A and B are shown apart, each in its own frame.
Chain A
Amino acid sequence: QKEVEQNSGPLSVPEGAIASLNCTYSDRGSQSFFWYRQYSGKSPELIMSIYSNGDKEDGRFTAQLNKASQYVSLLIRDSQPSDSATYLCASDSGGYQKVTFGTGTKLQVIP
């Protein structure tokens, strides 16, 4: 079982819609969770971090964490074509010295 699992997609949403990206993790000891965005040919960029159960909002982005279900999600409101990228979920599955990434979900926002 992979430590961090994501659906590889692609997830296609129309411009202006809400994109919902999901992630599950296997290590119940994980404390920190991250969402990174990676444009094609570029390196990952941190967009959200979340440490407590519940929601965390930052502009058009909302991260949700449910530790009981070992589930993390990212909502992108008012999706724009510029949001088209691969979104990587990550957690500190081996302690914060080791952050493990999922394989990423490719998001396509259709104009």
Chain B
Amino acid sequence: DAGVTQSPTHLIKTRGQQVTLRCSPKSGHDTVSWYQQALGQGPQFIFQYYEEEERQRGNFPDRFSGHQFPNYSSELNVNALLLGDSALYLCASSFEQGANGYTFGSGTRLTVV
């Protein structure tokens, strides 16, 4: 039973560049939520995708955008990278928007230099 798959696992980018992170949800899940986790902090909600639409968004600028595909996989795009965007990006999958909790992927560690 495949869990949540995220790629890449690590990424180093330069300020001002753009990055795309990818997530395949757990089999049977149809919802993907993205979180940013800085060192020593709890995960911060970026947005949730369900039925290929952004359903809810956290306090993140428009530089953060996403997409969900018909097979439920999702992408997180970040434009005009800032040093402060360096963090662990977590994808959480769930069934029907997550009333029963999430399954997290192993994350993508993004470093902006």
Contacts and interface: CB of A to CB of B under 8 A. Distances in A.
A26 interface: no
A47 to B, nearest CB: 9
Interface residues of B, number: 26
Given A99-B102, A101-B45, 17 more contacts: A4-B42, A43-B90, A43-B107, A44-B102, A44-B104, A46-B102, A92-B98, A94-B45, A94-B56, A95-B56, A96-B98, A97-B50, A97-B55, A97-B56, A97-B98, A99-B92, A103-B42
A49 interface: yes
Given A43-B105, A43-B106, A99 B98 contact: yes
12 contacts: A6-B42, A43-B105, A43-B107, A44-B43, A46-B101, A96-B98, A97-B55, A97-B98, A99-B45, A99-B92, A103-B40, A103-B41
Interface string A30-50: 001010100000111110010
Nearest to B44: A101
B45 A45 contact: no
B56 A100 contact: no
Nearest to A43: B104
Contact of A44 (B44, B55, B90, B97): B90
Contact of A96 (B35, B42, B99): B99
A99 B101 CA distance: 9
Interface string B80-113: 0000000000101000011111111111000000
A2 to B, nearest CB: 9
A98 B105 contact: no
Contacts of B107: 43
Contact of A100 (B45, B55, B98): B45
B58 interface: yes
Interface string B50-66: 10000110100000000
